């Protein structure tokens, strides 16, 4: 009887294959500050969705609150900054 695949990289070959499609960690570096707008859920205390434009986040929040007005105190928009300003 064979052991079911768990999806956790149990096969060295499968894990190596997936990694070959990713850029090396040293190659990924933000050179500029990136500002995103997140819908944050108070119960999770983490972003549930990210938007490049504040207007898009506001529109989605309005749609959510239209359908679920009781969520007004549970979900909000928070500005998130990623990366560091370039020092050049």
Report pLDDT for 49: 92
How far from 80 is each of 5, 50, 77, CA to CA, in Å?
37, 9, 10
Q: Which of 53, 56, 54, 75 is nearest to 64 (CA)?
A: 75
Q: What is the tens place of the pLDDT at every residue in 65-87? A: 999 999 899 999 999 888 765 55
Residue 76 · residue 27 · CB < 8 Å: no
Q: What is the pLDDT of residue 29?
A: 62
User: How far is 84 from 5, CA to CA, in rounded Å?
Assistant: 40
In which residue ranges of the chain is pLDDT below 70?
Answer: 1-31, 84-88
Cβ pair 64, 75 in contact under 8 A: yes
């Amino acid at each position: 009887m064979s052991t079911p695949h768990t999806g956790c990289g149990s096969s060295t070959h499968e894990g190596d294959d997936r990694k070959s499609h990713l850029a090396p960690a040293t190659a990924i570096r933000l050179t500029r500050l990136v500002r995103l707008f997140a819908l944050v859920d108070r119960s999770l205390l983490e972003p549930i969705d990210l938007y490049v434009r504040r207007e898009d986040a506001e529109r989605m929040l309005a749609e959510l609150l239209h359908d679920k007005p009781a969520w007004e105190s549970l979900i909000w928009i928070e500005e998130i900054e990623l990366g560091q300003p370039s020092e050049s």
